[in-house]
Amino acid sequence: MNQSDKDIKGTTTVGLACKDGIVLATEKRATMGSLVANKGAEKLFKLDKKTGATIAGTVSHAQSLMDVLKAEISLYRLSNGKDMSIDALAVLCSNILKSGPFYVQTILGGIDKDGAKLYSLDPSGSYIKDECISTGSGSPYAYGVLEDRYNPEISVDEGKIIALKALSSAMERDVYSGNGYRLATITDDGMKIYSEDEISEVIKEF
């Protein structure tokens, strides 16, 4: 994730659709060119009770996008008396990106009445529904792990380990990724963002 650079060359994020929910994970490094500008960047966001997102790209654009999505989700609930579906949220996010420029890659994930869903969106506004996604400069290294270990029948508990393992692989080789992990799961019980101690316990299972 870059603080001022328009090129989306920093960051590694991962999203997995599992049989019982969604796993979202990121590392914590923000760069400004070759400078490590921040070692605790927030790239994982809770948008609603059962909806979350990861971001890669320019910090200010990413923060603005997340704020707009949160507001739109709340307004939709007030106007319609029900939660926005993940499909509708992906279309909304796509339309916002098209009105940009927003130099942001986003993974949207959540659970609605139809189950767990995961979308990848790029700065042009294209949106693709998928089951296993990685974004950012470290994604080629992360995909090496994900292609080997992921399948749609894994549980969220299994997905947590795979996602963090994929991030670890990226952090070993990508200079723009590092400084620790962020991890969240989304199930029928809601979205849970893990503490550093809880993440350490998952890492022990590698």
Q: Tell me: the pLDDT tens digits for 118-154?
A: 999 999 999 999 999 999 999 999 999 999 999 999 9
- Cβ-Cβ contacts under 8 Å for 163 (sequence gap 6 or more): 14, 16, 23, 24, 25, 183
The whole domain housing 21 covers 13-203
CATH of the domain at 138: 3.60.20.10
pLDDT digits (tens, 9 = 90+) for 162-203: 999 999 999 999 988 989 999 999 999 999 999 999 999 999
| Residue 130: inside a domain | yes
pLDDT of residue 58: 84
**Residue 96 is encoded by which pair of tokens?**
């916002």
Strands of 51-57's sheet, edge to edge?
A: 44-48, 51-57, 104-112, 115-121, 127-129
pLDDT digits (tens, 9 = 90+) for 6-22: 444 578 999 999 999 99
| Residue 1: inside a domain | no
Structural domain total, the chain: 1
In the block, tokens 């890492």 appear at 203
CA angle 174, 191, 162 (to 5 degrees): 40
Tell whether the model's pLDDT for residue 57 goes beyond 90.
no
| Residue 42: inside a domain | yes
pLDDT of residue 198: 96
pTM score:
0.93
Tell whether the model's pLDDT for residue 64 goes beyond 50.
yes
Scored b (16 or more CB within 10 A) or e, 11-49 reads bbbbbbbbebbbbbbbbbbbbeeeeebbeebbbbbbbbe
| Residue 175: inside a domain | yes
Active site residue ranges = 11
